[in-house]
């Protein structure tokens, strides 16, 4: 959580969504911070669900890209 707040301060934009991923190598958890509201995903993923882990990471990366209709993302 402290890292997410630090990123907000570095970005100087508390309204922009900041994502966080925590893992111990076996269990993966995902969260989001907007302003002072932290949302933790209800679903924790395990190392046995690597497709879902990579899918979640891919979603976060795509969602964090600038929204420009002229740019096509894969």
Q: Print pLDDT tens along the chain (74 aa).
A: 888 888 888 988 888 889 999 999 899 999 999 999 999 999 999 999 999 999 999 988 888 777 765 656 55
Domain ranges in the chain are 2-64
> pTM score, two decimals?
0.75
Instruction: Pick the closest to residue 20 from 8, 36, 3 (CA basis).
Output: 3
The neighbour count for residue 13, using CB atoms within 10 Å, is 11
pLDDT attached to residue 44: 93
Residues 4/16, Cβ–Cβ less than 8 Å? no
CA distance 67 to 65: 6
């Amino acid at each position: 959580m402290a890292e997410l707040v630090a990123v907000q301060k570095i970005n100087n934009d508390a309204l922009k969504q900041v994502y966080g991923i925590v893992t111990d190598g076996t269990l993966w958890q995902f969260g989001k911070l907007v302003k002072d509201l932290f949302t933790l995903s209800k679903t924790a993923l395990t190392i046995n669900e690597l497709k879902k882990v990579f899918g979640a990471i891919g979603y976060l990366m795509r969602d964090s890209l600038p929204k420009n209709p002229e740019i096509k993302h894969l």
